[in-house]
């Protein structure tokens, strides 16, 4: 039996993945914000290479999902926006409040675009995830085919953010959703707005794109 073929092992591995994700996010924040002496940078690079080596001894291929993930159950530990195991994710936490998806996160130095504010592409990424979540929980999951973002005011770093998203229209296979980014302290002042269109895949499209991942092509 593999390490995680029982419920306890799976839970333990997910906690370990989250712990590693926390450590990596701390590393990225410190490494981006640091003004430590150059010798410290060189020493850290060597230590990090040493830590990374054993992780690379067993890795999954492009079409293999992580053993600790549950694709159909929506568990994606390495999602680059919400994944607790992702070094890259803020991570964004999303929950439902009635028909509205509400997200919270705070962005560190690694997400900087204009000095002291978030990169515009990061805001678009957060909103794509928010809209995708709202579309999925509405019962009509699909892929983003269009995402329009309007930047009203810059998004501050190191500030608790409040994001929202909801489905506004459904036309055949196309679901349209809108979303916003504001701060937790001033939720009425919208910093960024987005409108996205999501298309539900036909069986043939799903098979073509994801057959190698789900194993339905075997």
Ligand X SMILES: CCCCCCCC(=O)SCCNC(=O)CCNC(=O)[C@H](O)C(C)(C)COP(=O)(O)OP(=O)(O)OC[C@H]1O[C@@H](n2cnc3c(N)ncnc32)[C@H](O)[C@@H]1OP(=O)(O)O
Q: Which stretches of the chain bind ligand X, using CB under 6 A?
A: 128-129, 132-133, 136, 143-146, 171-174, 197, 199, 201-202, 205
Nearer of residues 103 and 108 to ligand X, judged by Cβ: 103
CA pair distance 52, 100, nearest whole angstrom: 40
Residue listed under structure tokens 């999951």? 141
Nearer of residues 117 and 196 to ligand X, judged by Cβ: 196
Nearer of residues 44 and 199 to ligand X, judged by Cβ: 199
Residue, CB closest to ligand X: 132
CA pair distance 177, 210, nearest whole angstrom: 24
Name the token pair of 216.
Answer: 């339905």
Nearer of residues 35 and 171 to ligand X, judged by Cβ: 171
Residue 194 C-beta: closest distance to ligand X, Å: 12
Residue 131 C-beta: closest distance to ligand X, Å: 7
Nearer of residues 71 and 145 to ligand X, judged by Cβ: 145
Bridge partners for 143 per DSSP: 199
Residue 139 C-beta: closest distance to ligand X, Å: 12
Residue 128 C-beta: closest distance to ligand X, Å: 5
CA pair distance 215, 146, nearest whole angstrom: 28
In which order are the strands placed within the sheet that holds 174-183? Answer: 93-97, 100-105, 161-171, 174-183, 192-199, 143-151
Handedness of CA 136, 140, 141, 143 (dihedral sign): negative
Residue 161 C-beta: closest distance to ligand X, Å: 18
DSSP H or E segment with residue 180: strand 174-183
């Amino acid at each position: 039996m593999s390490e995680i073929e029982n419920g306890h092992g799976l839970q333990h591995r997910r906690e370990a993945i989250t712990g590693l994700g926390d450590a990596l996010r701390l590393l990225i924040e410190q490494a981006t914000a640091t003004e430590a002496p150059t010798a410290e940078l060189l020493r850290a690079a060597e230590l990090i290479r040493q830590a990374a080596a054993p992780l690379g001894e067993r890795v999954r291929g492009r079409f293999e999902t992580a053993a600790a993930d549950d694709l159909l159950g929506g568990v994606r530990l390495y999602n680059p926006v919400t994944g607790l195991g992702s070094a890259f994710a803020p991570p964004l936490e999303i929950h439902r409040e009635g028909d509205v998806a509400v997200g919270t996160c705070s962005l560190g130095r690694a997400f900087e675009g204009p000095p002291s504010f978030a990169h515009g592409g990061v805001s678009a990424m957060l909103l794509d995830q928010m809209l995708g979540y709202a579309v999925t929980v509405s019962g009509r999951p699909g892929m983003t085919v269009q995402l329009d973002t309007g930047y009203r005011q810059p998004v501050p770093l190191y500030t608790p953010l409040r994001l929202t998203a909801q489905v506004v229209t459904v036309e055949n296979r196309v679901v349209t959703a809108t979303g916003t980014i504001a701060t937790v302290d001033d939720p009425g002042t919208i910093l960024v707005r987005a409108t996205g269109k999501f298309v539900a895949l036909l069986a043939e499209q799903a098979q073509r794109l994801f057959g190698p991942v789900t194993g339905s092509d075997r």
